[in-house]
Amino acid sequence: MSSASVIAQKPLSELSLGDLESLVEIEAAESDQLELKRDLPISNDAKGWRESGKLHKNETRAIAIEVVALANAYGGRVYIGIDESSDDPKRAARMASALPNVASLSERLGDGLNGLISPPIRGLALKAIADAEGSGDGFLVIDVPRSLEAPHGVGVPPQCYWRRGSTAQPMEMRDLQNLFWETRTRTERIRFEQQESIRRYELLPERPNAINYRFTLVSVEPLALKQLTQSFRKGAIAPMSGGGPASGVAEYPLWRNDSWTFAAFGTVKSSEKSPTSPKHFSWAVDETGVLEVIGTIAMQSGINGICVDPYDFCATAAHLLYLATYVHRSAPQSVDQWVLDGEIQSTCPRVYGENPAGRLRQITVDLRHGARFRPLSLSLEQGTEEIFAALEERIWAAFGQEVLDQAKHPYQRPARLA
């Protein structure tokens, strides 16, 4: 039997009917990140989804208020189809009657929320979970990220709510002013750190025939990692048990616990300086919550072009997420949200990419203008598989290809770290 926190950390795609039944079995309590609904809220004299097969505006609005309240606070999940107790806070008491045609409900409610909430909440996701009968009826889970664009409102003009304890409450003017200030400060810090990483990337030594790359993770809130970065430099960080992900364009930084050196506000680990090596890279951990890998792959002498495998860039992106998981679990704060961005650029006139449909059929790629990836928001606790899959698609697209099943990286977030 799983705890409420374990179920909350499961990726939405992996949630099952058994998880909802576990919430009932353990009598999970509503909290600042968990909301239970027996049904779609509606007045007694109105006909909604259950009676007519059509969403009533009051049903959509009631759920939108709960969603906005979570997004404006810490994020969380709304479970529709679990009856609550009369306790304070309310607890999961029993499974309610399954919602009819739950897959269609999920689609229509998602559209309704996107149309009613302003600005739209990035990363908002719904999942229909079928009942045991296989009738098409079932239950609904809404996954709400903590928004970097808060405050969000419902309707026109927008009315703002946030989560206080286990209830959604209207925001007062002072609350709105504080949240606007926090969002602006947070956004400016993230952009500043991203620009600093870009500046370091642009300082890479000029190589006429090379591919340069950068992947950067910035914590949404500033961290205090001074002790951790000192431990890295002292070699006190044990490599991850059971090995790490596959080799990439940069050596996985947690395979060994040496070679971390001092850097302003943190620590770095760089490749050995060898004029014959085609790979040069540097990992960095900043004590305020910035992780990055910056590197270059040079063309070997005498070869008319450079041949690379997009898979290797995906592997290094996986390395970064593994490193972030280690840092996150070692940090004194419980801040969980991060923003990932990156870029790949070539100074080589000819780049050949491995074609997963046939390894002997390489394709020519134009990377001279480079590819910069739009920022992705992620939660390390709630699962990074879906975010990694999105980044993997972007990396392969930069090389002019669609990622095929046989070429996908077998990424899984680490179950535990030493």
Residue 242 binned pLDDT confidence (cut-offs 50, 70, 90): very low
- Residue 259, SS3? coil
Asked whether the predicted pLDDT for residue 246 surpasses 70, the reply is no
Domains and CATH numbers, the chain: 4-171 (3.30.950.30), 184-407 (no CATH)
**Which of the residue ranges 229-243, 264-278, 326-340, 391-405 would you say has the lowest mean pLDDT?**
229-243
Find residue 154's DSSP bridge partners: 117, 159
Nearest to 164 by CA among 320, 275, 30: 30
Residue 105: closest CA among 39, 24, 20: 39
pLDDT band at 260 (very low <50, low <70, confident <90, very high): very high
The model carries a pTM of 0.78
30 CB-near residues (< 8 Å, 6+ apart):
36, 84, 89, 90, 91, 166
State residue 370's pLDDT score: 74
Q: Are residues 324 and 217 in contact, defined by beta-carbon separation less than 8 angstroms?
A: yes
pLDDT at 398: 85
Instruction: Please tell me the distance from the alpha carbon of residue 159 to that of residue 173, in angstroms, as a whole number.
Output: 11
What percentage of residues in the chain have a pLDDT greater than 70?
A: 88
Q: What is the pLDDT of residue 297?
A: 86
Residues linked to residue 139 through DSSP beta bridges, in sequence order:
129
In this prediction, residues 274-281 reach a mean pLDDT of: 75
Least confident of 191-205, 256-270, 278-292, 376-390: 376-390
User: Which carries the bigger pLDDT value, residue 248 or residue 243?
Assistant: 248
User: Quick one: pLDDT at residue 302?
Assistant: 46
CA 118/CA 133 separation, integer angstroms: 37
User: Residue 224 above 60 pLDDT?
Assistant: yes
pLDDT at 418 over 60: no
Which of 5-19, 171-185, 234-248, 365-379 has the weakest average pLDDT?
234-248
Kindly report the average pLDDT of the chain as a whole number: 86
Q: What is the mean pLDDT of residues 198-219?
A: 90
Q: Long-range contacts: 171-175, Cβ < 8 Å, 24+? A: 171/72
Peptide bond into 41 cis (omega under 30): no
Q: 74 φ, ψ to 5°?
A: -115, 5
pLDDT band at 141, cuts 50/70/90?
Answer: very high
Give yes or no for a contact between 217 and 384, defined as CB atoms under 8 angstroms apart. Answer: no
